[in-house]
Amino acid sequence: SFVIDPNDKIYTNEEVFTEIELDEIRKYKLKPIPQMPQDLLTYLNSFRVSDISGLRDAIFKSQQWDSPYNRQTHFDHDWI
């Protein structure tokens, strides 16, 4: 198996695939993009600041999920 980007024009430019074949690849077993939970989106948006000082404050701000940390429920928050 291999991974390709069906939107990369190199495949049609170099005649590796036709546009019809690339369209088939795009649609094959297409999975919907999951919705981001609202609390995770809110947390991610907390980093939308206009200066470095604000970003540092946001990064080092204590979060309610810091303690007790639960890997099953807080993994995405911690990864961000």
What pLDDT score does 75 carry? 86
* Rounded distance between C-alpha atoms, residue 57 and residue 42, angstroms: 16
What pLDDT score does 1 carry? 75
What pLDDT score does 51 carry? 96
Q: How many CB atoms lie within 10 A of CB 65?
A: 14
* Rounded distance between C-alpha atoms, residue 48 and residue 59, angstroms: 11
Residues of the chain with pLDDT under 50: none
Q: pTM (2 decimals)?
A: 0.59
What pLDDT score does 61 carry? 92
What pLDDT score does 67 carry? 81
pLDDT tens digit sequence for 35-49: 999 999 999 999 999
Residue identified by tokens 């993009």 is 33
